Amino acid sequence: MVCFPNAKINLGLNVLDKRPDGFHNLHTVFYTIHINDILETIPVENAIQPIQFSHTGLAIDGDEANNLCVKAYHLIKNIRPQLPPIQMHLHKNIPMGAGLGGGSADGAFALKQLNDQFDLQIPSDELLQLALELGSDCPFFILNQPCLATGRGEILAPINLNLSAYAIAIVNPGIHVHTGWAFSQLTYKNPSTLLSDAIKLPVHQWKNHIENDFESAVCATHPEIEAIKTSLYNAGAIYAAMSGSGSTVFGIFDAQVDLSAYFPSTYFCKWV
């Protein structure tokens, strides 16, 4: 079976405070975009090990055992021992360390795919809980629809938001921003406008009301990211912001324009 984990962007990201459990309370809106990885799982007979994992495409850092797809398999195996040994192959197209949620999407889609492929009948609320064990962003990809997220990102309220009338440019300079470092740079503050209210405003007004609290610190260390945002506005974006803790910046336009003069050819640039 093959599935296509998709990326997301954050429309606003306000980090309110740090919790006693070490996580942070935040407000954000998750919105899906059409940049996709490819994930295939195949059952294997007489396998020596429960999961054989391979990958192609963009390089994946870290130990293979820590890949969220592999962790997803073991989480399900623990509660559904009948899950057979598999081969799993991941082709990476979504840039990593980029604020697009690619790793989280892969893990969440692995949970859903294994459940469907092997008819394990794990209910959606249990899948959401398993996804949270993988990471704070993972439950969103179980629902995979526009949501206002609070708590550590796992309290999800679907919202009526459709940006299909606009063109969205995704620009990534190839900088890997470590999420832990980004959180350590934050100064906590209460937003002047609650994101739940600001997201209901016309898109043309978002520039003055919707912010990403990570931007100032990340852009101070990586001025290229601030330059991308400025270039997107110069190209005619009606709203531009960094997604997550960076380094991807997106711009919302009334229509597609030629961005080739604004960014180096080495940058990842895509209309979605």
The model's pLDDT over 236-265, given as tens digits with 9 standing for 90+, comes to: 999 999 999 989 999 999 999 999 999 999
Residues 212 and 248 in one domain: yes
CATH for 245: 3.30.70.890
Predicted confidence at residue 188, as pLDDT, reads 84
Mark whether 8 is an active-site residue: yes
Q: What is the pLDDT of residue 61?
A: 81
CA-to-CA distance for 38 and 55, rounded, in angstroms? 10
Instruction: Catalytic residue, from 8, 71, 92, 229: name it.
Output: 8
Cβ(114)–Cβ(41) below 8 Å: yes
Nearest to 141 by CA among 180, 94, 87, 181: 94
Please check whether residues 201 and 244 belong to one and the same domain: yes
- Do residue 151 and residue 178 come from a single domain? no
Write the DSSP symbol of residue 5: -
Q: Is the peptide bond before 196 cis (omega within 30 degrees of 0)?
A: no
In a shared domain, residues 131 and 248: no
| pLDDT > 70: percent of the chain | 100
pLDDT at 260: 92
Q: Which of 60, 269, 40 is nearest to 172 (CA)?
A: 269
- Whether residues 54 and 125 share a domain: the answer is yes
Sheet with 6-18: strands ordered across = 6-18, 24-36, 147-150, 155-158
| Domain termination residue (choose one: 158, 180, 200) | 158
Which stretches of the chain are DSSP H helices?
Answer: 68-79, 102-117, 124-134, 138-143, 179-184, 195-198, 215-221, 223-234
Residue 131 has pLDDT above 90, yes or no: yes
**pLDDT at residue 15 greater than cutoff 90:** yes
Which of 136, 158, 180 terminates a domain? The answer is: 158
Q: Which of 112, 137, 213, 229 is catalytic?
A: 137
Shared-domain flag, residues 217 and 264? yes
- Per the structure, the complete domain to which residue 45 belongs is given by 2-158
> What's the pLDDT at 187?
83
229 among known catalytic residues: no
pLDDT digits (tens, 9 = 90+) for 21-60: 988 999 999 999 999 999 999 999 988 899 999 999 999 8
190 — pLDDT class (breaks 50, 70, 90): confident
Give the CATH number, domain containing residue 107: 3.30.230.10
pLDDT: is 121 or 183 the higher one? 121
Flag whether pLDDT at 65 surpasses 90: no
Asked if 27 and 126 sit in the same domain, the reply is yes
Q: What are phi and psi of 245, to 5 degrees?
A: -95, 15
Looking at the structure, do residues 54 and 90 belong to the same domain, yes or no?
yes
User: The whole model's pTM is what?
Assistant: 0.94
Q: Verify that 153 and 185 share a domain, yes or no.
A: no
Whether 111 and 75 have beta carbons less than 8 Å apart is answered as yes
Look at residue 97 in the predicted model and tell me its pLDDT.
84
